[in-house]
Structure 1
Amino acid sequence: MRQLFELCGNDRDIRFSPFAWRALFCLAHKGLEFERTPLMFLEKDPYEASGSTALPVLKDGETWVTDSLDIAKYLEATYQDNPLFGSDVALGQAQFLNNFFNQVVVGGLFPMLAADVFDLLSDDNGAYFRKTREPNFGGATLEQMRDKRDSMVDAYRASLNPIRATLGSQNFLCGDAPAWADYAAMGGFMWAKVVSKFDPIANDDPINAWRERMLDLFDGLGRSAKTV
């Protein structure tokens, strides 16, 4: 049985990792059965054999795969049905897109959402999260960054113009139907949906209409996620 190890809060039904959500959508796209295993930040023993110290991690039989992009590439190479990329060219372009989604979509959300993630964690996991994440804020606390998010959100929305422009002429980033790039982008927005009541996307934004379509995929995999 395939097993996806993913981050959770103190409530194990709150599964929030943007990178795990990418893997979840990819597994669903491939039509594969899998078991979800929620773990908190400090619970590393169950996937120690993978050699990774961070989630998500996929265990497929005796094979361990780490990193959301590597998981997608593994699924594409191992299971031929329902392509995620469609060609070697698209597979090569994925590295560029992965960096864009990591730095712009997820990276832009991080200062606005980090305190909300902290609020979901147990005391020891919260202390770990604060110690490892707060240094990114130049002396500001998680909570101080959250207090600034109303002044940050317009710049964040502007940074998404390449996504917005693409969705102005097609229903999904990959065209008429969703594939890997859609799932990679949606991971960040699932993170925001799960951990916070703060919505970084305006209701009349074309990204919101795309996001609604993404939430309905795979019998509402995203829409049924437990949120705060």
Structure 2
Amino acid sequence: MTILLYDLVGSDPARPFSPHCWKAAFALAHKGLAFESVPTPFTAVKGVEGGVFGTVPVIRDGERVVGDSFAIALYLEETYPDRPSLFAGEGGKAASRFIERWSQLTVHPFLGAAALMDIHDRLAPEDQAHFRTTREARFGRPIEDVPADRDSHLQGFRAKLEPLRSMLTYQPFIGGDRPLFADYIVAGAFQWLRVISPYKVLADDDPVGVWFERCLDLHGGLGRRVSAAA
């Protein structure tokens, strides 16, 4: 049975952009599981599977409904142990928790602020109103003002990626010789920006960008099925 993945979209249902939904999509593909993306705009999220989670991603696998990208990865690991592992053991789960917190606290804040108006502009009108209200409450200022200083903070953001950049001189993936869920956590963040905004955050020769290109090629080029924003 095909698994359903409720995927956050804007006005174009063929362009899912949520970093967390991309994590789930990469995890499903890593396990070799067939899945169908269910386009879900912001204002429809509260109705997904009865609104039990309130956010996406959410998957339905037969009778099981699971929300939250990390919980989805754990569910897939436990339910399909005969398929390629997302964690390569308990240590991998613990390390992925660290990577997730690092990504949420270091990568997401800059990317989310830098692309804020790009996200808004790609939403349907009813979703734009919701997005503006919630994000202005979060940032405490008009959303138009939030990306205004992104260029002045870009070099600082790039510097924060140095631990990842340095690690990639030793191995091709965060997971080692092959990708694990830890890779999908960070790749999901960069895919978020790639799909929603033309803003360039990585230099052409940045090893992080080279790694991200490798991630886009995984699983039959899953990440490239949605073109980069222009």
- Short-chain TM bin: over 0.9
Match of 2:178 in 1: 177
Distance 1:18 1:178 in 2: 17
Contact preservation (8 Å) 2:56, 2:67: yes
Distance 1:35 1:66 in 2: 16
Match of 2:79 in 1: 78
- Structure 2 SS opposite 1:38: strand
Count of aligned pairs: 227
Distance 1:154 1:142 in 2: 22
**Unaligned regions of 5+ residues in structure 2, if any?**
none
Distance 2:215 2:171 in 1: 14
Match of 1:166 in 2: 167
Q: Give the drift of 1:212.
A: 1.0
Q: Return the match for 1:109 from 94, 111, 117.
A: 111
Match of 2:10 in 1: 9
Q: Give the drift of 1:110.
A: 1.0
1:63-111 residue CA offsets vs partner (Å, 9 max, x unmatched): 1111111011110011011000011122123222211111111222111
Indicate the larger mover: 49-58 or 210-219.
Answer: 49-58
Matched to 1:34, the amino acid is: F
Q: How does 1:145-156 map to 2 (within 5 A)?
A: 145-156=146-157
Distance 2:132 2:178 in 1: 39
Please give the TM-score of this superposition, normalised by the length of structure 2.
0.94
Distance 2:176 2:46 in 1: 40
Q: How does 1:170-209 map to 2 (within 5 A)?
A: 170-209=171-210
Match of 2:94 in 1: 92
**Unaligned regions of 5+ residues in structure 1, if any?**
none
| CA RMSD, 1 decimal | 1.3
Contact preservation (8 Å) 2:46, 2:54: no
Please give the TM-score of this superposition, normalised by the length of structure 1.
0.95
Identity of aligned residues (%): 39
